[in-house]
Structure 1
Amino acid sequence: MASVAVNRNFIEQVKESRKMIRYCFKRSHEALQLRESILLSRIDQIENDYNSKTQEVNKLVETLNKEITHTTEIFSANKLTDIQQIIQSAIDKKITELTADTDSSIKFEWDNQFETDIEQLGSIKLNGQTNISPIHTFPPQVKPVVPDYKAKQLPTAYCCKKSNKKAPGELNNPTGIAVHYQTGNIYIADGNNRVQVFSCNGDYLFKFSEKMNNPIGICITQNKVFVTQLYGHCINKYELEGKLIKSVGSKGNGEAQFSYPQGLDVSDGNSNVYVCEYSNKRVQILTQELKFHSMLGIDLFKSPRDVKVTRDRVFVLDDNDPCMFVFNSDHVLSNRLISRGDGKQNFPLCFDIDRDYNIIMSDYDNDCVYVFNQEGEQIHKFGKKGQGIGEFINPWGIALDNTGHIIVVCQKNTNCLQFF
């Protein structure tokens, strides 16, 4: 009888395993179908853009051909040949200009596309246990596009009302903000001592950890979230879903110690973590395992607030002057930009960088957002003090998503979370 029972248990396990395999492959099929739909839609858009530009080129060629015909009647054959060459050069130049934007717009960065899709579906264990990871249906990471700053309109997408309560989806004195470029999800350091996660449309998804001591800075890699705790004097490392992996730090000025850490960022090249320390007046660099690596800006910074790391530069915002320190990839200071909007003394706390190295910066005291080019010249400003849409009271966190939208969180505005 015991042998029969064992056989029955084995058969049941096999049946369950088959069901789980079918379920996982069904989800895989649905995810790949959605990816196919997204890519086909993108291809249609590119084709429409190309057809539109082709029509412009054809009209130009038609106009120039009429000029050639008219010129034939006036000039000799020798002169006509020279004019035709000049006109042909003009046509080639115009075609290059019209197609440049289309060529750049379809330059996607595919990072292990198929392997990533399958990995996100989870793994199957034949002992009856199954671990299913979330399926991300957002397109793969692309370079953030450069917003058209001059054409920016008031936000119309979503505003999250401020509340002192801890209800899901409500924010209380939010600070840092970061966007996961694969999913489009928005991670916000909330004054309720937690991190809340919203979709790219502003819909509440989930929260994690309500035991932090004033989370303030936040950044995201492909599969990890890093958060600084202002009064905890430490940095935490999480899974995307909120599971704590590691916490490092205590108050002090030694290696892997912190004093009121603020903004942070992760390098694309080696995944090192750069952390601004307000009181220690430095940027501390840790490995991706949160072990001490090196220091940046000793005897240089006065009040470092935020940092952004690109492939070839490190930007550090100091609110004392205020100014922006720019280092090359070897951490040698290459520039120091004055980041004073409208020529006024301001109080910047956070910033982000687009792919043209324009600096988008929130101004806590002047209740607005400034945009500077890489030479430090102001090229745009939007927002004013108020409680309405497109108005700010103490804007803090700011981030660009991969569609060119600017996302801003305010500490004291009724509309805490706004999209531009």
Structure 2
Amino acid sequence: MADSPLPDYSKKGKPTLVFGRRGFTQESLHHPLGLCITKEDKIAIANSKTNEIKIFSPDGEFSASYKLNSVNLMVDDGVTAVTTDPIGNLVCSYTDGHQVQVMTANDGKHKRDVMLDTKCNFKPWGVACSSTCFYVCDRQNACIRVFAADGKHMKDIGKRGTDPGEFTDPVGIAIMPNGKLAVTDFQNNNVQIFNEQGTYCCTYGTEGSGPGEFNQPMGIAVDRTGFIAVTEWKNNRVQILDAMGNSVTCFGEQGAGDGEFFSPSGVAITKDRQIVVGDFNNNRIQVF
């Protein structure tokens, strides 16, 4: 099979689609955080304030909503991230519930919960799945939890700190085409790369607002050629890096207009390299 041609992300910045508004109706959004593209090419959104996954078509039409198992309708940190496993199930971080929930993508049927024995000492956020395990950012303990496909806790990656391979606030995670892990650290203002065994490889970025710099990096996504999209909560922008960590382009600024953000959160890249961004405080999704 021929290699995929390298994408040109330099022209991104003007959205081709904007949908969502604050509210509690089926089609509305209230503090969207993580998001992903399902196996059916739909957009799955972690609607944090109502603790549910909302599914939209690629054209922004509402399709379905799935409630997570919880006791509270209104939560501070409900579902914060969502991804898919190799067979297409939705894997969701339920932060206030101190657990990860797995549900079917076609009807939201609950399959299982994943948690630590000391479940109240686990604050899951970003989540990513490989063919054999899944990785969960634990903001409470400043590490990456690694679970087997059956939910058994296998090991941890990293510890609290500011040195290479350490975290202060790991929040987003994605798996690169070569199997390496890319992790955003909200407080250390960088992206760190680890191999599949959890060994530290390198760091991209420092604190700032220029190209190659980050201010509270949040969501992260990687395309099939290794380009990385990172949302920056405080810089109110999306930054694209190549597979070596070089900044390719940045787009966005604070505001409520098309192409502007008020705390961008989750990000995903579609098969045709559209960039889908959760706009947390504007309660909407923008597609570039």
Q: 1:298/1:345 Cα in 2 relative to 1: closer, same or farther (>3 Å)?
A: closer
Matched with 2:234 is 365
Matched with 2:170 is 304
1:283–1:297: 8 Å Cα contact kept in structure 2? Answer: yes
* Matching residue within 31, 42, 61 for 1:173: 31
Matched with 1:162 is 22
Matched with 1:35 is none
Q: 1:251/1:346 Cα in 2 relative to 1: closer, same or farther (>3 Å)?
A: farther
Matched with 1:152 is 12
Quick one: distance in 1 between partners of 2:104 and 2:138? 24
Opposite residue 239 of structure 1, the aligned amino acid is T
Q: 1:193/1:146 Cα in 2 relative to 1: closer, same or farther (>3 Å)?
A: farther
Q: Percent identity?
A: 22
Matched with 1:391 is 260
Matched with 2:145 is 284
Quick one: distance in 2 between partners of 1:233 and 1:262? 10
Quick one: distance in 2 between partners of 1:390 and 1:301? 31
Matched with 1:275 is 136
* Matching residue within 41, 46, 53 for 1:195: 53
Note if 1:208 corresponds to 2:208.
Answer: no
Matched with 1:186 is 43
| Displacement of 1:384 | 1.5
Alignment size in residue pairs: 271
Q: 1:218/1:390 Cα in 2 relative to 1: closer, same or farther (>3 Å)?
A: same
Q: Residue by residue, what CA displacement relative to the aligned partner does 1:214-269 show, whole Å, maximum 9, x if unpaired?
A: 100111123211111111111101111200011132684xxx7752211010013x
SS of the residue corresponding to residue 325 of structure 1 reads strand
Q: Residue by residue, what CA displacement relative to the aligned partner does 1:90-113 show, whole Å, maximum 9, x if unpaired?
A: xxxxxxxxxxxx9445xxxxxxxx
Quick one: distance in 2 between partners of 1:418 and 1:265? 22
| Displacement of 1:320 | 2.0
Opposite residue 183 of structure 1, the aligned amino acid is E
Alignment of 1:136-147 (within 5 A): 147=7
Matched with 1:217 is 81
Note if 1:326 corresponds to 2:189.
Answer: no
Quick one: distance in 1 between partners of 2:65 and 2:90? 13
Quick one: distance in 2 between partners of 1:261 and 1:330? 20
- The higher-RCO structure (CA 8 Å, 6+ apart) is 2
Quick one: distance in 2 between partners of 1:239 and 1:276? 22
| Displacement of 1:312 | 2.6
Q: Residue by residue, what CA displacement relative to the aligned partner does 1:150-208 show, whole Å, maximum 9, x if unpaired?
A: 12251122421222xx210110001010111x310111010211110111221110001
Gaps of 5+ in 2: 161-165
| Aligned structure 1 segments of 4 or more residues deviating by more than 3 angstroms | 102-105, 210-213
Q: 1:251/1:320 Cα in 2 relative to 1: closer, same or farther (>3 Å)?
A: farther
Q: 1:208/1:146 Cα in 2 relative to 1: closer, same or farther (>3 Å)?
A: farther
| Displacement of 1:377 | 2.4
* Matching residue within 99, 105, 111 for 1:234: 99
* Matching residue within 246, 253, 267 for 1:377: 246
Quick one: distance in 1 between partners of 2:206 and 2:22? 29
SS of the residue corresponding to residue 240 of structure 2 reads strand
Please state which structure has a larger fraction of its residues in helix: 1
Matched with 1:259 is 122
Quick one: distance in 2 between partners of 1:373 and 1:146? 10
SS of the residue corresponding to residue 271 of structure 2 reads coil
Q: Residue by residue, what CA displacement relative to the aligned partner does 1:340-360 show, whole Å, maximum 9, x if unpaired?
A: 441666111111112332221
Quick one: distance in 1 between partners of 2:21 and 2:117? 34
SS of the residue corresponding to residue 33 of structure 2 reads coil
**Over aligned residue pairs, what C-alpha RMSD do you find?**
2.2
1:319–1:348: 8 Å Cα contact kept in structure 2? Answer: yes
Please state which structure has a larger fraction of its residues in strand: 2
Matched with 1:71 is none
1:348–1:363: 8 Å Cα contact kept in structure 2? Answer: yes
1:342–1:378: 8 Å Cα contact kept in structure 2? Answer: no
Opposite residue 369 of structure 1, the aligned amino acid is V
Gaps of 5+ in 1: 1-101, 106-144
Quick one: distance in 2 between partners of 1:284 and 1:318? 15
Opposite residue 152 of structure 1, the aligned amino acid is K
SS of the residue corresponding to residue 197 of structure 2 reads coil
Opposite residue 184 of structure 2, the aligned amino acid is L
Quick one: distance in 1 between partners of 2:210 and 2:117? 37
Quick one: distance in 2 between partners of 1:277 and 1:352? 18
